[in-house]
Chains A and B, each alone.
Chain A
Amino acid sequence: MSISTRGIVPSPNPPENLRLPGDPGRPLTLSRGVGRTARISGTLIAALWFTVPLLPLAFWSFADRWSFPSPVPTSWGLSGTMSALQQGGLSAFLHSLALGLAVAIIATPLGAVAARALSNGWAPFPRILTALLFAPVVLPPFAAAFGVNVLLLRAYVPPLVGLVLVLVVIAIPYTTFSMRVAYAAHDTRYEEEARTLGASKWQVLWTIQVPLLTPALARSAFLAFLVGWSDYLVTVIVGGGQVITLPLVTASAAAGTGNDAAVAILSLAAIIPPIVLLALLARSGRQHRGDRS
């Protein structure tokens, strides 16, 4: 619905300094000088806070030697990259990628189902269920991983399956919370309308619910991916040394001496996928908002 202002004729000579109650005396849409400066400064400081630590990382990645107190590497080269590859950096990168994707693919729909059940009141004992779902976040990770490992070993669960299983359990609180927020804002009458138009429950799921919740699903999947991508402790304990991921190789390299360049390139490699995914997420979110505005 639009509001027409065609019939409203502005006064030819509006009295100066006329101020009605509640009128701040200036257009709300204009930035104030001080506020605008503070906002820009805050953004710049935040950007520096995140990028400055990455700068030495980027320098070290392509440095053969960087002696103190030189502000930049004293000798540039790819010895760090070669060393990282020799230590199994590439296969570890691929393992981490696969682990992150596996956790995202499994934990996202499970989180969505849990969130839907909790939002719609379908789940019995919702408070207890919520507490159970969020328990992995509250428990000390080492205790949880160690305890679960004993159980998995006794149940003859293969280490790789056990690793994915435990990481999925750790990721579910994040995906559930993210999807619960989305379902709270989701109007189920779209689905009812689709049903009366002849769509079955499955058609409604794929043609209405999933497209409408795509941004939230992407956010959930991103969080779940991060759980799998960045995990160290569970991979060490439950993986039993069978799955070598990027955090394991990086930690191993960091434990030795003279590996600064290799550690730097491995750390840099660990940052790239989340940043790429975050950028894709922001882009898809903007497009979705544009479609629905």
Chain B
Amino acid sequence: MTSAIALSSISKTFAADAVPALNGVNLDVLPGTCTAILGPSGSGKSTILRIIAGLEDPSGGGVFVNGVDMTSVLPENRRIGMVFQRPLLFPHLSVIDNVAFADRAAGLSKAEARRNALRFLDMVQLEEFASRPIRSLSGGQEQRVAVARVLAARPAILLLDEPFSALDAALRDDMHQLLADIRASLSPTVLLVTHDRDEAAAVADRIAVVEGGQLLQHDTVDRIYHRPSCRAVARLMGGRNFVDGVAHDGAHHSAVGRVTVDENIPEGPGALVVRQEAIAVATASPSRSLAADEFAGVVSAVQRNGARRSIVIGVDEIDIHAELPPGVNLPVGAPVVFTLPRESVSVVAR
């Protein structure tokens, strides 16, 4: 299947900066999917979106949309819609004229453009706001109008540059639902930039992790969480366990013990990575001996983490971070046993 978006060795260096903002980024996004570009501030994720939209020229490499080279095509001719962090509604136009803007630019009459705009305003449940001025809208409503406006341009690809980050949690959930509805009804290819891994996991099929202008990993949400390609990806996805050791014979060997790993791992020094929420913890019983996949330790710290508690288990100078089920608490100093599920354990280079 031809990729809806294909970035080929994209690099970008801004005149004022010595360090490139992007360095050899390759990315394939399949049609109709939603991919989240995740990374810290200044990692280059917004630059990727701006290059795809045609708002920045890459210093090297090419942008292909449905197999067609778009690298030198003007933004207005790409049929790629973009929603920014700020809604950027045109303040001199009413709500409906904002949504009708794309059709007016395409040469449609005002009446026809407004008729079409009403359909898209209805899609974001703001039809009754059509004749209102922009200043009468709340932050969430403004972002909905911005989404309706970009949809009214009938883009083949929808680029979302942290569009929900300025909204509160409840509004953000509403917008996530709206995005799911749009995907169900229009099936656009969506590329979403975010620095929020929870948002990325909530709305995207795949996640592309970017740091320092490089694409570190592009994979399904589950694999990004449980099979990070490197320490940086694991850290960006909130992973807290990195146990240095040596990998051989399909297992990782460290002070914690021998941990069998499901996937083929390169032999040699490597860090064992396991999600803290994947670790199963139980109180140790002196009468019961450890099973082959069980490890013993002592609780060295407890911290409340929302409805759950996070604990640190000390094992021979090594700290293992784990999360307890809701309502369960363990005191500091309690001996525990824990298991590292094979499907959630991987080894990355040190």
8 Å CB contact of A195 from B75, B104, B133, B150? B75
Given contacts A193-B82, A291-B133, A292-B135, contact A199 B105 (CB under 8 A): yes
A203: nearest residue on chain B (CB-CB)?
A: B105
A284 within 8 A of B: no
B81 to chain A minimum Cβ distance, whole angstroms, is 6
List residues of chain A with CB within 8 A of the CB of B86.
Answer: 189
List residues of chain B with CB within 8 A of the CB of A195.
Answer: 54-55, 74-76
A292: nearest residue on chain B (CB-CB)?
A: B91
List residues of chain A with CB within 8 A of the CB of B53.
Answer: 192, 196
Counting residue pairs across A and B whose Cβ atoms lie within 8 Å, the total is 73
**Cα distance A278–B41 when bound, in Å?**
46
Chain B interface bracket (under 10, 10 to 19, 20 to 34, 35 or more): 20 to 34
Given contacts A195-B75, A197-B102, A199-B105, contact A190 B80 (CB under 8 A): no
A212 within 8 A of B: yes
A160 within 8 A of B: no
A288: nearest residue on chain B (CB-CB)?
A: B92
List residues of chain B with CB within 8 A of the CB of A292.
Answer: 91-92, 135
8 Å CB contact of A199 from B84, B101, B139, B168? B101
Given contacts A195-B55, A197-B101, A199-B76, contact A1 B92 (CB under 8 A): no
A2 within 8 A of B: yes
Given contacts A2-B138, A212-B91, contact A196 B105 (CB under 8 A): no
B293 to chain A minimum Cβ distance, whole angstroms, is 50
B165 to chain A minimum Cβ distance, whole angstroms, is 13
B106 within 8 A of A: yes
A146 to chain B minimum Cβ distance, whole angstroms, is 43
Select the residue from B75, B106, B139, B149 with max chain A CB neighbours within 10 A. Answer: B75
B88 within 8 A of A: yes
List residues of chain A with CB within 8 A of the CB of B135.
Answer: 291-293
- For window 175-197 of A, CB contacts with B under 8 Å fall at 187, 189-190, 192-197
Contact A192 B92 (CB under 8 A): no
**Cα distance A212–B89 when bound, in Å?**
12
- For window 192-220 of A, CB contacts with B under 8 Å fall at 192-200, 203, 207-208, 211-212
Contact A198 B55 (CB under 8 A): no
A-B residue pairs in contact (CB < 8 Å), sample of 10: A187-B88, A194-B90, A196-B80, A197-B81, A198-B153, A199-B76, A200-B105, A211-B92, A291-B91, A292-B135
